[in-house]
């Protein structure tokens, strides 16, 4: 099912992209949670936008590199000229993609837990005046889990396009449109939440709406139910990508 040499190869060829995105995200998180100037915006700016934009860029580029670009350039021939099934290829690449996101959020979460322990922040300070107490470690973990699941769904859709198309330009074109619309609609919907009523309906245009940090901060359970939808989208998209890649003609 899993090909270790391929996993090694994928880690190696995507290390730079993963490293820089994880680095930027972690640095921003540390900055937003530590600096007095920006602390109040930790949720609106950082958790509201950065945790989808940065992983979004990462999955857009990486999902394309994992399948479509290798078929397009022809290097996939070296993988498939070995006793490796096509289904093993897609499984390994999807495994890499999901786990690299888990690692990305893992690093970021650990950094935030550390800064939060060093310099706790009251929920009221971030605009949630109706809530008492500080931001807890549990909340940080839950918010990140919620964001992670949405990012996995985003990655799965990009991976699906990467599996369907043998040409990078189509794979990255459609994935780019998808990521762009998802993130833009999410930002517009956020302005809707902040008071611009006309923009509220944009939340129906994006799967980022299943990422619900407010529910976590209010200690609600909604965010848990909302995990199911991105999870289902991810399973469906990975499956479609797998089937298309295994069935199609490869110009290698």
Asked whether the beta carbons of 14 and 100 are under 8 A apart, the reply is yes
Indicate whether 17 belongs to the interface with another protein (CB under 8 A). no
- The two structure tokens encoding residue 67: 């399948």
CB of 68 to another protein, least distance (A): 14
For 94-150, the three-class secondary structure string (H helix, E strand, C coil) is HHHHHHHHHHHHHHHHHHHHHHHHHCCCEHHHHCCCCCCCECCHHHHHHHHHHHHHH
Q: How many of the chain's residues bind another protein (CB under 8 A)?
A: 28
Indicate whether 61 belongs to the interface with another protein (CB under 8 A). no
Cβ-proximal residues to 64 (8 Å cutoff; 6+ apart), any chain: 158, 161, 162, 168, 171, 172, 175
Asked whether the beta carbons of 18 and 62 are under 8 A apart, the reply is yes
User: DSSP assignment of 192-235, as one string?
Assistant: HHTT-GGGGGGGGG-GGGG--HHHHHTT-SHHHHHHHHHHHHHH
Indicate whether 23 belongs to the interface with another protein (CB under 8 A). no
Residue nearer to another protein on the CB measure, 91 or 229: 91
Indicate whether 19 belongs to the interface with another protein (CB under 8 A). no
> What stretches of 7-115 adopt beta strand conformation (E)?
none
Indicate whether 12 belongs to the interface with another protein (CB under 8 A). yes
Indicate whether 193 belongs to the interface with another protein (CB under 8 A). no
Indicate whether 197 belongs to the interface with another protein (CB under 8 A). no
Query: Per CB under 8 A, which of residues 62..81 are in contact with another protein?
Result: 65, 70, 73-75, 77-81
Residue nearer to another protein on the CB measure, 200 or 248: 248
Indicate whether 2 belongs to the interface with another protein (CB under 8 A). no
Residue nearer to another protein on the CB measure, 80 or 205: 80
Question: Which residues form the interface with another protein (CB under 8 A)?
Answer: 3-6, 8-9, 12-13, 65, 70, 73-75, 77-86, 88, 249-252
């Amino acid at each position: 099912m899993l090909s270790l040499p391929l996993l090694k190869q994928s880690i190696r060829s995507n290390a730079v992209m993963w490293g820089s995105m994880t680095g930027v995200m972690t640095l921003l998180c540390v900055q937003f949670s530590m600096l007095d100037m920006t602390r109040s915006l930790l949720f609106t700016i950082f958790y509201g936008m950065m945790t989808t934009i940065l992983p979004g860029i990462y999955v857009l580029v990486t999902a394309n590199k994992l399948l479509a670009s290798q078929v397009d350039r022809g290097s996939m021939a070296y993988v498939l000229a070995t006793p490796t099934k096509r289904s093993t290829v897609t499984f390994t690449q999807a495994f890499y993609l999901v786990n690299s996101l888990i690692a990305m959020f893992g690093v970021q979460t650990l950094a935030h837990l550390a800064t939060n322990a060093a310099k706790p922040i009251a929920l009221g300070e971030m605009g949630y005046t109706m809530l008492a107490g500080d931001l807890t470690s549990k909340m940080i973990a839950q918010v990140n889990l919620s964001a992670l699941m949405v990012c996995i769904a985003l990655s799965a859709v990009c991976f699906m396009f990467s599996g369907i198309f043998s040409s990078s330009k189509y794979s990255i074109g459609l994935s780019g449109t998808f990521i762009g619309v998802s993130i833009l609609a999410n930002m517009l919907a956020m302005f809707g939440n902040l008071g611009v009523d006309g923009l509220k309906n944009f939340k129906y245009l994006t799967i980022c709406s299943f990422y619900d940090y407010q529910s976590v901060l209010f200690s609600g359970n909604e965010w848990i139910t909302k995990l199911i939808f991105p999870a289902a989208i991810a399973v469906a998209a990975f499956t479609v990508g797998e089937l298309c890649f295994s069935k199609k003609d490869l110009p290698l």
